[in-house]
Amino acid sequence: MPYPADPLRRTPPAVPAPAAPAADPSRRRWLLAAGALPLMPLLGGCATPLPLDAPDIGDPLAAQRLRECAEVHGLAAYRALRDINVAYDGRWRPLIDRVQPQVVDAGFRGPSQERIVPAAGVVAQAYAGLAGSKQVWWQRGSRAGTDGTVEVWNNGRRNDDPAYRSAAALVAEAYGLFLLGPLWLAERTLPAALAGTERVHGRYCDVVQVALTPGLGLVARDRVALCIDRADGVCRRLRFTLEGFEGTRGAVAEVDLFDHERRFGVLWPMRSYEEVVHPLRLPAHDWWVTGLDVDRGYAVESLRGPAFSGLAAAPARAV
């Protein structure tokens, strides 16, 4: 499976972000988590590239740009989908499990089968790793952000550890965002603002920032930026905060999206690459779609439990 020729060669955003406070506890926590790793070449500046405290200005031009992007990605077809069934495979880059151990959860994070029911805000994930099986049920809550429902099973046994569940909720909601991009945001009334331009792998993009409420997982608020290709309207990069888990609070990551294919009327990124960009720069994860089908017609209850059941159980159709 090919990878970006140089995923670390990035052009910074055209609009500089405001500086973070001098004593940044989240940045210090990340550096301590990295321990004795040779991280000095990876360190970013103190300024966060996606400030949570930026004003939530509802810019009609930004909302229009986001809407146009969603339409390019197949908004009308997406709205008609009852369920989405996808399979992933991938690889984790070195060192990332040292700074994000509970989010990476390396023992269980191998190939996965994932199920999405957009109308219900549900993402369910079935992982297979060296430590065995991991099953996640996530349903987004209200604007309060902390009333979503997350349940996790490891090797068939329910795991009620609060931190583990919070990490699982963040990952599940984020993977809905990664796969669907502007479509995952289009049905929610979210303040958006234009934030300059950015070059993504040689393509000029408009940057649209969105105040995401509720946030990714069990949190009231995150901030997401979409880099929308000026030439064809495709979302090429997602930048986002990770406030939903204590161990990643204060961090910002990016996912670059590649090899888009239109299936079932929707434009899907078939390959993705993730990188942490704040408070340190660190390659994180490459993954790709290995299976995809839609509209099996199962009830959401078939996704909740230590294994998928009924029409949800079969693997996603190989691509």
CATH number for the domain harbouring residue 151: 2.50.20.10
* Within a domain: 312: no
Q: Which pLDDT belongs to residue 28?
A: 53
* Within a domain: 217: yes
* Within a domain: 7: no
Distances (CA, A) of 1 to 90, 124, 134, 189, 200: 9, 26, 25, 37, 21
Q: Which pLDDT belongs to residue 6?
A: 38
Largest CA distance in the chain: 54
Average pLDDT over residues 105-122: 96
Average pLDDT over residues 219-223: 95
- Per DSSP, which regions of 59-170 are E strands? 84-92, 112-117, 122-129, 132-139, 149-154, 157-158
- Specify the 3-state DSSP secondary structure of 269: strand
Q: Which pLDDT belongs to residue 11?
A: 41
Q: Which pLDDT belongs to residue 189?
A: 86
Instruction: For residue 211, give both structure tokens.
Output: 């105040």
* Within a domain: 1: no
Block residue for tokens 């369910």? 124
Confidence of residue 26 (pLDDT cuts 50, 70, 90): low
Q: Which pLDDT belongs to residue 262?
A: 98
Average pLDDT over residues 193-201: 96
* Within a domain: 241: yes
Q: Which pLDDT belongs to residue 143?
A: 72
pLDDT at 264 over 50: yes
> In this structure, how many other beta carbons lie within 10 angstroms of the beta carbon of residue 45?
11
* Within a domain: 156: yes
Which of 300, 298, 251 shows the shortest CA–CA distance to 34? 251
E strand or H helix that includes residue 174: helix 162-180
Q: Specify the pTM.
A: 0.86
Query: What sign does the dihedral 54-206-287-17 (CA atoms) show?
Result: negative
pLDDT at 24 over 90: no
Block residue for tokens 């390659």? 283
pLDDT at 12 over 80: no
Domain of 139? 48-305
Structural domains counted in the chain: 1
Instruction: For residue 136, give both structure tokens.
Output: 């996640």
